[in-house]
Structure 1
Amino acid sequence: MSISVLGVNFKTAPVAIREKLAFPNEVVAKALYSLSQHPLVDGCVILSTCNRTEIYVSYQHATDYIRLKQSVTNWLGQFHHLDLQPYQDCLYWHQGQAAVEHLMAVASGIDSMIIGEPQILGQVKQAYSMAQQNNCLSSELAKLFQTIFHVAKLVRTQTHIGANTASVAYAACLVARNLFNDAKQLQVMLVGAGETIELIARYLKPHGFKHVIVANRTREKALKLTTLIDAEIISLPDIATRLNEVDIVISSTASPLPIIGKGLVERTMQARNNKEMLFIDLAVPRDVETEIATLANVHLYTIDDLQQTVANNLEQRAIAANQAQYIIQEQAEQFIDWLKSRNAVAFVKQYRSNAETIKQQLELKALNALKQGANVDEVFAEFSHKLTNKLIHAPTQTLLHVATHDCDDCFKVLSKGLGLKKH
C-alpha cells in the first residue's frame, strides 16, 4: 500500500489556472465517486480551496505509481473537460513519505500563502469528512488523516506558528483589543465595505462590541456586511454627526481624498469630553488626515504601522515553520513505518495461509492412508517429513539464491530472521 498526491497550488499556478482545476462543493461527491472507480485507486480524498487543488490517493502496489500518476492526471483533465498538456509544469506529484510530509505541512499551515494561517486545517477536515461520507476512504487514508490532525495540533502547541498575527486586518483588530479593556462597552465604526473591511468584520464578531456602525458610499454594498455582523448602516456624510458616538474607527475606502479630517476629530473629541479614541486607517490613499495624531487621547495607526508588525510576525512564523518541519518529518517517518508494517501483514497472512494449506493437504492424505489400514507410525513419520520439507522449501531456496547472487545484506537479514547463526 502506498500514498500519493497530485496537485496544483498558488506557488505553481496563477488563479486563472487554479480555477480551471478547482472542484466546487457541489461536484466533489461526484468527483470522488468517479475517481474511486479507477481500478488502481484504493481510496481517495479531494482538497479544493482558492489556493490549491490536491487529490490524495492510496493504492495497493507501489510499483503502479507511474501508471497511477498518468491515470489520475488523465482523470483530472477528463473530469474538467480540459487538455492538461499546457499545464503540466503547474502540476506536482508526491509519493510515499514525500506525499505524507506534504499533507502534514498543508494541514499545519506551513504550505499556506500566509504561513500559519489556521483556516486550512478546517478545509482539510472538511475534505476528509466528504470522502468519509462518500465511502471513499481506505483504512490507510483514514489513518493518515487522523495522524495529520494530530500533527497539526502538535505544530500549534509546540511551536509559535500561530502565535503572531499575519494579516493587516487581524493586526488592526489586535490593536483595538489591546488598547481597550472591555469590548462589550465599546462602539465601532467601519468606514467602507470592501474586502478588507469584510475581513475586519469577521475578526470583530467574536469580541461582541456594544454597537457597530458601517459607513459606506452605497447602502447596497454595505448590506452584505450585516450577514457577518450586526451593524447599523449609514452614509459617508453621516460620519460627521455620528463620529462622537464611537470609540474605534477602522477605515478602508478607495476615496482619493481624506474622509475624516483634523477639524472633525477636534470637534468630536470636545463632544466626547476628550474620551480616548482609536483610528486605524488601512486605505491608500489615506482616509484619515495624519494630523489627528497630534491631538490628545487620539491614537492613529496607518497601514504602514500594521504592515511592519505583520512583517516582524511573519519572520517569527518562518522560524516556527522550520521547527515544525522536524515534527513533520518525525511523524511522517512513523506513519510510513506503520504503512510498511501494514504491507508486511498482508504477506505474513499469505505465508501463514500457504502453510495452513500445505498442512491440511498432508493431513487429508495421512487420514486417508490410516483409513486404508496403513501403519500409524509410518504415516506419522511420512507426514512429519513431508510437512517439514514443504515448509522449509521456499526459505531454503531463497537462502541459496541470495547467497549465490552477492546479496550479503539480504543474506544476513534472512538468516537472522530464520534464527540461523554463522559458524
Structure 2
Amino acid sequence: MILLLSLSFRNTPQKIREYFAFGNEDKERLLKSLCSEELIDEAAVLITCNRTEIYVSAGNDRSTSSIINIILEKCEEIIGINIENLRDYLLFYTGKSAVSHLYKVSAGLDSMLIGEDQILGQVKDAIEFARECDTAHLYLNTLFRDAVTEAKKIKTETLISKSGVSTATLALKAAKDVLNSFSGKNILVIGASGKIGDIVLKNALSYDFVQIYVTRRRHNIDMSPNVMERVSIIEYNDRYDYIKNADVIVSATSGPHFTLTKEHIQENILPGSKKVFIDLAVPCDIDERVSKLDNIYYYNMDDMKKFADENNEKKKMSIEKASLMVEEGVEKFLKWALFQENLKVFSDATENLEKEMARIGEKKTLEHLFYKIRDNGSLEALQSIIDILSI
C-alpha cells in the first residue's frame, strides 16, 4: 500500500507550509524515524516552495489511521510544536489515489502553474535523497521511476510545458504589469545561486533591464561579455545599498530568516519611488509588512496562484490528454504492484499446473483451469481472460 500525506498550496496556507519546509538534516531524520516504525517499510519526502509531501509504503494489512498518526507525530517532533487543527490543512491519499497523485505532481498537473518544469527535477531529487538515506526500496523506487518516466513522455507529447512554465516567469510578468515596461529599469535578485533564483536570473536576462544586480557565487554565472555588461555580482551584506537603484527586488533563498526587513527597506528607498518586491521563498524571505509602504507592491508564493489562472486556461486540451496518459501510467504501475504482491500465488499455481499436467496431460489440465476460472471468477474477470486469449 502506498500512502501519502500532502500539504500544498491547494489546502495549506503558506504560514503552515513554512513549518514543514525541512532542510536536509531534518528530512533525513524524518525518513529514518518513519522507517524505524514497524508499520512503515519505505518513506520519501518531496519538498518544494509550494508543497511538502510524505510518501510511505506499507503492507496492505496495516492500519491507515495508525500510519497517518505516526507521520504526524514524527513531523511535530521535528517542528518542535503541536500545530492546532493541523489535520484541517492536510490531504491524505492511499492506494490508487496516492499513486495517481504522484504521477500528476511529476507531470506538473497538480502545480500552481500547470506544466511547470521545475517539479520534475524536485521529484527526482526526492527519491534520490530517500535512496541515500536507505529508506526507499522496491516499491517507492519503482513508483517514482515510473512517475518520472511518464511525466517526461507527457511533456514530450503534449503542449503542457510549452508556455510560461515557471514561477519565475510569472513573478517577472507580475512586476512588468506594475511597471508597464522594464525598459530603463533595474532588478536585484537575492539568492541567484539557488535553483529558483537561477531561473529568475535567466528570465531577467531575456528582458531589457538596464542593470541586473545579483547575490551569487561568481563561478556559477555565465560571464560572457554580453552578460558582464548587464550583471553586477554584489555581496549579500550590501543588498540594502542596491535597493535604492532597483525597481524590482526578487528574493529566493533557502534561509530561515528574512533577507529584507521593513525597517531596513524603509531606510534605503526614496520616498514615492515605485518598487516591486517578490518573495519566492518558503519560509518567506521578505517581511510582508513592506506592503504597507507607499508605492510598494509585494507578492509572495500565495499570490502567484492568481497569476497562474490565465496560463492554465490556455492549456485545457493538453491537460485532458496528459490526464489520460497519467491514468494509463497509474494502471500500469498498479498492475506491476499487484503482480509483485502475488508472486507466491503465481509460483504455487505454476507448480500445481506442472503436477496436474504430469498426472492427466496438458489438454485436460488447461480445460480444468478454464472451467475453474468460469465457475469461480466474476463475469468481468472471465471476459478479461477471453479478451487476452483472443489477442
Indicate whether 1:169 and 2:172 are aligned.
yes
Displacement of 1:395: 7.4
Distance 1:418 1:107 in 2: 31
Indicate whether 1:68 and 2:83 are aligned.
no
Contact 1:250-1:282 within 8 A present in 2 as well: yes
Percent of aligned pairs with the same amino acid: 23
Contact 2:5-2:54 within 8 A present in 1 as well: yes
Please name the residue that 1:384 is paired with. 359
Distance 2:159 2:133 in 1: 35
Contact 2:2-2:99 within 8 A present in 1 as well: yes
Contact 1:101-1:329 within 8 A present in 2 as well: no
Distance 1:200 1:27 in 2: 23
Amino acid aligned to 1:384: R
Please name the residue that 1:335 is paired with. 330
Greater radius of gyration (CA): 1
Distance 1:394 1:258 in 2: 85
Give the 5 Å matches for 1:218-297: 225=215, 227=217, 230-231=233-234, 250-251=247-248, 255=269, 257-259=271-273, 282=276, 285-286=294-295
Contact 2:159-2:318 within 8 A present in 1 as well: yes
Displacement of 1:127: 0.8
Distance 2:327 2:120 in 1: 17
Distance 1:238 1:344 in 2: 60
* SS state at 1:147 partner: helix
Closer, same or farther: CA 312–8 of 1 in aligned 2, 3 Å: closer
Distance 1:135 1:412 in 2: 43
Indicate whether 1:6 and 2:5 are aligned.
yes
Closer, same or farther: CA 409–85 of 1 in aligned 2, 3 Å: farther
Displacement of 1:26: 0.7
Indicate whether 1:204 and 2:201 are aligned.
yes
Closer, same or farther: CA 84–115 of 1 in aligned 2, 3 Å: same
Please name the residue that 2:56 is paired with. 57
Distance 2:272 2:48 in 1: 37
Distance 1:354 1:234 in 2: 70
Closer, same or farther: CA 282–128 of 1 in aligned 2, 3 Å: same
* SS state at 1:44 partner: strand
Please name the residue that 1:92 is paired with. 91
Closer, same or farther: CA 137–411 of 1 in aligned 2, 3 Å: same
* SS state at 2:233 partner: coil
* SS state at 1:167 partner: helix
Distance 1:345 1:238 in 2: 58
Contact 1:169-1:200 within 8 A present in 2 as well: no
Q: Deviations over 1:269-316 (max 9, x none)?
A: xxxxxxxxxxx95377448xxxxxxxxxxxxxx99xxxxxx9787413
Distance 1:141 1:48 in 2: 16
Indicate whether 1:135 and 2:141 are aligned.
no
Displacement of 1:225: 2.5
Closer, same or farther: CA 346–397 of 1 in aligned 2, 3 Å: same
* SS state at 2:247 partner: strand
Q: Relative contact order (C-alpha < 8 Å, sep 6+): which is higher? A: 2
Contact 2:154-2:322 within 8 A present in 1 as well: yes
Indicate whether 1:159 and 2:173 are aligned.
no
5+ residue gaps in structure 2? 219-231, 250-264, 278-292, 299-304
Distance 2:3 2:91 in 1: 11
Q: Deviations over 1:185-211 (max 9, x none)?
A: xx98447x8799x98886336849999
Displacement of 1:418: 12
Please name the residue that 2:123 is paired with. 124
Q: TM-score, normalised by structure 1?
A: 0.57
Whichever structure has more helix as a proportion of its residues is 1
Contact 1:20-1:80 within 8 A present in 2 as well: no
Aligned residues: 326
Amino acid aligned to 2:233: D
Please name the residue that 1:378 is paired with. none
Contact 1:201-1:225 within 8 A present in 2 as well: no
5+ residue gaps in structure 1? 181-186, 215-223, 244-248, 260-279, 288-301, 304-309, 364-382
Contact 1:155-1:324 within 8 A present in 2 as well: no
Closer, same or farther: CA 234–282 of 1 in aligned 2, 3 Å: closer
Query: Aligned Cα RMSD in Å?
Result: 5.1
Give the 5 Å matches for 1:18-37: 18-37=17-36
Distance 1:384 1:328 in 2: 50
